[in-house]
Chains A and B, each alone.
Chain A
């Protein structure tokens, strides 16, 4: 069989049901081979959409997302999506066409050095030069993408390699001497940690996306309940702990809840689980958990001690480490600390003022109320993203899909497409902004073509709200290039794409249509004309500690 046919066979061996992509000249043989396969291909409208969709699919299903693009511009268009998956540790495999090996390096038509370009934003990548190596490479690519700390892996496939004849055998195992992730935590360190935790009087658990990646939400809950430790989530960690739980503190960091930030500042033992002490979480390093023994559990050794010194580090799979740890812990109460934290929650709740105009926070609160945390919430990037993190009460892992590390506006719509295809029976709600959605709006075409019943809420403030907020605080209200004096009518746009469209200007009307919109089997765009003056609060200003938040 040809290299291209072998590639498709490999995908079948990996039990891939669906790929996202966009064809072109250099990847023609692969699409020709795909023609004969049962694997479903989702034709997107731009390659960036394919990468984000594969990412959204992977986050919702826990499987590896796959996408394809042709050489040159097809490949470069993937780059934002790859960087996004890399920053948020999402397992995706990307296959790009390449000009024939005989032309590589000659600046030929649609040639670009995509393995060179993506080296800093992939976990690993391959340029296939020898067709016989292809099955081995694909096997390795899926292994690397899905194991250890997950991430994107790119395979660049020259056209002549795709056309060459090879004997196909799919390797049963992978031999990578330089890649052996540590899954079991060091037993004596886990014992030490158990001792420190049992001695702590004011513990806080700081749980990140690694908990979701390791499928360890159950263990996290058991840990929190066993030692009565309140849990705060990073943006990526939302969904790993039930939002309604009395021990839940919401998100921490620059836009974290006051009580989460105060609890972290006051704790004597910080248990970081699958989190990486991102600068948006810790703000000023010296003021982050200053009185705490820091325990850091993560699968990536490079995250240990990178930003904040950990007193007790364990490298390992979060689920396995938590299981070993739980076996060593006894039930304890920390009554005083628990009531202190409850008092903080009561004293400094998240809040906003209702007014004449529709408030964006209210829209999300209402969606949360009606869906009871059962929906999959996909967001874009900006103020609406933070409000979704604040006001939607999550119940389960893999229900909050958002661009965390890269903060890529335009992620939302294609990720929602991928999420809905990965979970066809679930309600997928996209919360986006008028800025973000216009970055990848062409994917409405994909959503319409696939008849995806997406519920799209555009929190439309006619501006780039988050940048406007930054300019308010850091540029003395010199608002530069943040207002849209023209926006399309999103409700009419919905009509053009065969979707239902609504324009909402006040809370009453929203409450009126929302139940029906959320029940509708049709795709819907709700253009929410929200108050343009709202800021995301609380907010930690540059140079402050997380405890010194305003708002």
Chain B
């Protein structure tokens, strides 16, 4: 089963290597990992999607906690959460196909962010399913290049997986 972990880390050099190294040497599989800084520039947030049963997840979480730079880990899989991925797709587009592609872009509420001589570059955000679907829809035209961010996620409602200014954990 896939689990989504929200991991808050100190924004120290090497922290990504520590987390990635931990996963590889303990034989855990990362499905996706996205990282960026939070509202506090000293703290980064990683969204890690990891595959495994409850026992593996327990070890992943505990081993992550042992890293000094890891401040907080929340397994948000079982809660209600919003998740998004961003994708940029450069697709072949000539005069004949351009209209059809633009229709697909509209259906997925995506955007065209660049037009080339024979290509269109499309930006789409959404959950994993939507991103997969737009990729499938555009594939027949010939995808020249594709870049995905990996998933970021956040709990719905009042609940948060963050730390306040004292470094103390919120609810």
Contact A301 B68 (CB under 8 A): no
Out of B9, B55, B65, B167, name the residue touching A302 (CB < 8 Å): B65
**Number of A residues with CB within 8 Å of any CB on chain B:** 20
Q: Which of A175, A179, A306 contacts B59 (CB 8 A)?
A: A306
At the interface, yes or no: B106 with Cβ under 8 Å from chain A?
no
A124 at the interface (CB under 8 A from B): yes
Task: Please give, as numbers and ranges, the residues of chain A lying within 8 Å of B129 by CB-CB distance.
Answer: none
- For residue A543, CB closer than 8 A to chain B, the reply is no
Q: Determine, out of A32-40, A114-122, A522-530, the stretch whose residues face the partner at the interface.
A: A114-122
In the complex, whether B163 has a CB less than 8 A from a CB of chain A is yes
Q: Is the CB of B9 within 8 A of A120?
A: no
User: Which A residues between 90 and 131 are near B, CB-CB below 8 angstroms?
Assistant: 115-116, 119-120, 123-124, 127, 129
Residues of A within 8 A of B140 (CB): none
Q: Is the CB of B65 within 8 A of A301?
A: yes
* Interfacial chain A residues near B10, Cβ < 8 Å: 177-178
Contacts of B58 in A (CB 8 A): 305
Q: Nearest Cβ distance between residue A303 and chain B, in whole angstroms?
A: 9
- Interface residue A300 (Cβ < 8 Å from any Cβ of B): yes
Q: Is B17 an interface residue (CB 8 A)?
A: yes
For B55, give the chain A residue with the smallest CB separation. A305
**Given A175-B167, A177-B163, A177-B167, residue A119 in contact with residue B59 (CB < 8 A):** no
Q: Is the CB of B13 within 8 A of A129?
A: yes
* Contact string against A for B residues 135-165, beta-carbon threshold 8 Å, 1 for contact and 0 otherwise: 0000000000000000000000000000100
Nearest-Cβ distance from residue B148 to partner chain A, whole angstroms: 27
Residue of B nearest to A305 (CB): B58
B67 interface neighbour in A175, A178, A306, Cβ under 8 Å = A178
B14 within 8 Å of A by Cβ? Answer: yes
Tell me the nearest residue of chain B to A149, going by C-beta.
Answer: B66
Name the contact of B71 in the complex, choosing from A127, A178, A305 (C-beta under 8 A). Answer: A178
* B contact residues, total (Cβ < 8 Å): 23
Partner of B13 from A127, A177, A302 at Cβ < 8 Å? A127
The answer to whether A115 and B66 have CB atoms under 8 Å apart is: no
Q: Which of B7-39 contact A (CB under 8 A)?
A: 9-10, 13-14, 17-18, 21, 25
**A469, B60: Cα distance in complex, Å:** 37
Please measure, in the bound complex, the distance between the C-alpha atom of A9 and the C-alpha atom of B4, giving whole angstroms. Answer: 45
- A178 near B68 (CB under 8 angstroms)? yes
CB < 8 Å A-B pair total: 42
Smallest CB–CB gap between A87 and chain B, Å?
14
Q: What does the 1/0 interface line of A172-190 toward B look like (CB < 8 Å)?
A: 0001111100000000000
Does B63 touch A at the CB level, under 8 Å?
yes
Contact indicator A302/B68 (Cβ below 8 Å): no
Any B CB within 8 A of the CB of A270 = no
Hey, which chain A residues are within 8 Å of B59, CB to CB? 302, 306
Report yes or no: A124 in contact with B68, Cβ–Cβ below 8 A.
Answer: yes
Tell me whether B62 is interfacial, beta carbon within 8 Å: yes
- Which residue of chain B has its CB nearest to the CB of A304? B62
* Closest B residue by C-beta to A125: B14
Verify if A144 is at the interface (C-beta below 8 Å from B): yes
Q: Are B70 and A178 in contact (CB-based, < 8 A)?
A: yes
What is the minimal beta-carbon distance from B28 to any residue of chain A, in angstroms? 13
Of B55, B58, B66, chain A has the most CB atoms within 10 Å of the CB of B66
Q: How far is the CB of A263 from chain B (nearest CB, A)?
A: 28
Q: Is the CB of B163 within 8 A of A120?
A: no
Chain B: minimal CB distance from A305 (Å): 7
Q: Are A302 and B62 in contact (CB under 8 A)?
A: yes
A34 to chain B, nearest CB (A): 27
A162→B71 CA distance, assembly (Å): 30
Bound complex: CA of A300 vs CA of B63, how far in Å? 10
- List the B side residues contacting A304 at CB < 8 Å: 62
Q: Which residues of A contact B (CB under 8 A)?
A: 115-116, 119-120, 123-124, 127, 129, 144, 175-179, 300-302, 304-306
Chain B residues in contact with chain A, CB under 8 A? 9-10, 13-14, 17-18, 21, 25, 55, 58-59, 62-63, 65-72, 163, 167
> What are 19 A-B contacts defined by CB distance under 8 Å?
A119-B14, A119-B17, A119-B18, A119-B21, A120-B25, A124-B68, A127-B13, A127-B14, A144-B68, A177-B163, A177-B167, A178-B67, A178-B70, A178-B71, A179-B68, A302-B62, A302-B65, A304-B62, A305-B55
